[in-house]
Structure formats: structure tokens, C-alpha cells
Amino acid sequence: MTRRMGIFLLVGLFLFGGGALAWGQFKHVPETPQGFQILEEGFYAARKEAGVMVVEGADALLKLFAEDISPSKKPPVVVDFNRFVVVAVFAGSRSSGGYRLEITSARYENKGLDVRYVLHTPKPGSMTTQALTSPYAVILLEKPGPTKQYQAQ
């Protein structure tokens, strides 16, 4: 009975897992309508300077999470860097809560990677956390495939 249950569990995970293999667990990372996957969003990055980082390897991803996001966080998924890159956007240090970073588009163009984002700010007069915040967002973006060339015969 136990063996049958184990096989059933493995088949179920294979058929219905649908996501990337995470550190110690299965996690589904949904794709956005913009064509990328949001891996992580937050308000308290360790990195206090605004900027964009492109990560193209497993060691660099571990370093990104340990040094720029939080020493206690690990990447939420194992990334196939042959197919994907990880892009992290940092809004920099803000004097209060109420700020949120939203990546609106990310795509490869002829000149390279084009990442667009919006920093949402608190509404005037709204109650916010009176603490320094550092909004950030991390996405998974598929690398462009080889361009196909067609030749007339």
C-alpha cells in the first residue's frame, strides 16, 4: 500500500506540479500577461541604491538574494540559465512605506534588454509605515531564441 501511495504521489507531482522545482518544494511560478514570471516582490531589500541587475548564473543568483535582497532568503526556484535570465529592479531607499515597484514590461530588443517599471507612491495624506523601505521586484525572463533566417530559392 505504501509503495502504491508513493508512486501515486510521484505521478501526481509530475502531472500536476506545473511549476519550477523550488528549494526543497514544488512551486508554480505563473507567467504574467507581459511574458515574464514574477519570482519575488518586496518592500525591504538589503540593497539601498536604485538600479537594475541582470543575473545569468546560479552563483550570481545566490549572491543576489544573499547580498541585495536579504541574507535570510534563498531563491524561490531553481533556474535553467540556458533558457532564462533573472532581472532584479530596486527602487532604492524610501523614507516611508506605501511605495511599490511594478515591472510593466521586460523584453529583448535589437539593442539589448529593455525593462520598464513603475514606482507607485503613497497617496497624499495616506497613512504609511514610518520606516525606511526599499521596494524591489525580481522576474524570470526567457532568453531570446536563435533568430531564424529564411532564404528564397
Query: Cα separation of 118 and 128, whole Å?
Result: 19
The x, y and z cell numbers of residue 129, run together, are 509605515
Q: Which grid cell is 69?
A: 535582497
16-66 pLDDT per residue, tens: 333 333 333 334 454 555 679 999 999 999 999 999 999 999 999 999 999
Tell me, what's the pLDDT at 33? 56
Instruction: State the Cα–Cα distance between residues 17 and 111, nearest whole angstrom.
Output: 36
The 10s digit of each residue's pLDDT in 119-136 is 999 999 999 989 999 999
Mean pLDDT rounded to a whole number for the chain: 79
| End-to-end Cα, the chain, rounded Å | 63
Determine the Cα–Cα distance for residues 142 and 139; give it in Å rounded to an integer.
Answer: 10
Name the pLDDT band for 72 (thresholds 50, 70, 90).
confident
Which one-letter DSSP state was computed for residue 49? S
Q: What is the pLDDT of residue 151?
A: 53
Q: What percent of the chain has pLDDT over 70?
A: 72
Give me the pLDDT at residue 4, please: 43
What would the grid cell of residue 148 be? 531564424
Beta bridge partners of 20: 27
Helices vs. strands in the chain: H and E counts, helices first? 2, 8
The pLDDT of residue 109: 85
